[in-house]
Amino acid sequence: MQVTPHVYVMHIDDGAVFHPGGSNNYFVGDPHEAMLLIDTGEQQREWTQRILAYYEQLGRPKITAILLTHGHSDHIGGLDRVIDVMQAPARCHPRLASRLEAMVGKDMVTPLQPQEEVRTGGGVRLQALFTPGHEVDHVSYHFEAERVLFTGDCVLGGSSTTVRDLSSYMESLQVLTRYPHDTVCPGHGPVALPPRGTELVRWYIQHREEREQQILAALAKGISGVAEIARDVYPADLPEGLRRGAEQNVATHLAKLVKEGRVAETPSRYGLRT
Ligand SMILES: [Zn+2]
């Protein structure tokens, strides 16, 4: 499906509970000239075949680079097989480079510079934005001319995301607001077209701020354990598969609040096994 004149999305409904709404890979550029591919999906052969089938459908354009948003297995899975076919270098955050080099060879990996501009056919220019938080090696891409943000797993289309470091994540969201856009192309979930795409990053910021307020309110009530706080803050009917993620999310918020000196952490208690 074509999103904007130079952005094509290949969508897979993978049924994963952690990111409702499936997953996306993007081809960006002019299919008659040259294009970029963003992310290479899960490792399953079928996934790679779907990417390659879409590539065929586009007329096997010259691929000038394969841009990776981050090093999670559902984004770099088919990289070796895709590179064999497309013969294009992988571009990624410097912290991901050595892992990819082990996968596809040193010659085929070129780390990105912060805010580097990557060009391809159709006069397309994407700017690489280092946006840590979901993962330390996370990169988003801004396509200024068509007001599109490729957000990887920093901002998803149909749910909130998991976060490793919430302080840097919140800074990354603020960074994204500074790059004019009205379409968000996420790693998972539906593409957010205008007007939703214009507001999505701000909603994400607001959602996290609200969650923080709820956690502070739970602490004020004297609730002190991560699991208990999660029970207080999240809906009672949260699917079991998401419960752990919810607790992880509370822990991430607490770590941020501790770092900011707003919450005190008491050491864990221990006892003999009975
Ligand atoms: Zn992902």
Verdict on whether the full-model pTM lies above 0.75: yes
pLDDT tens digits, the chain, 274 residues: what are they? 999 999 999 998 877 666 667 899 999 999 999 999 999 999 889 999 999 999 999 999 999 999 999 999 999 999 999 999 999 999 999 999 999 999 999 999 999 999 999 999 999 999 999 999 999 999 999 999 999 999 999 999 988 888 889 999 999 999 999 999 999 999 999 999 999 999 999 999 999 999 999 999 999 999 999 999 999 999 988 888 888 889 999 999 999 999 999 999 988 778 898 7
AA letter at 157: G
Residues 6+ apart with CB under 8 A from 182: 147, 193, 194, 195, 197, 198
Instruction: Give the distance (Å) from ligand 1 centre to CA of residue 158.
Output: 13
Distance from Cα 72 to the centre of ligand 1, integer Å: 6
Q: Which two tokens stand for residue 235?
A: 């809906």
Beta strands at 117-120 and 124-130: parallel, antiparallel or unpaired = antiparallel
Cα(247) to centroid(ligand 1), Å: 19
Residue pair 159/241 in contact by the 8 Å Cβ criterion: no
Place of tokens 């897979």: 12
Ligand 1 centroid, distance to 228 Cα (angstroms) = 28
Ligand 1 centroid – CA 187 distance (Å): 6
Q: What is the Å distance from ligand 1's center to 12 Cα?
A: 12
User: Cα(78) to centroid of ligand 1, in Å?
Assistant: 13
Between the CA of 219 and the centroid of ligand 1 the distance, in Å, is 31
* Contact call for residues 179 and 165 (beta carbons, < 8 A): no
Distance 153 CA to ligand 1 centre (A): 5
List phi, psi (to 5°) of 5. Answer: -50, -30
Evaluated on CA atoms 46, 47, 53, 56, the torsion sign reads negative
- C-alpha dist (Å) from residue 223 to 61, 215, 233: 57, 9, 11
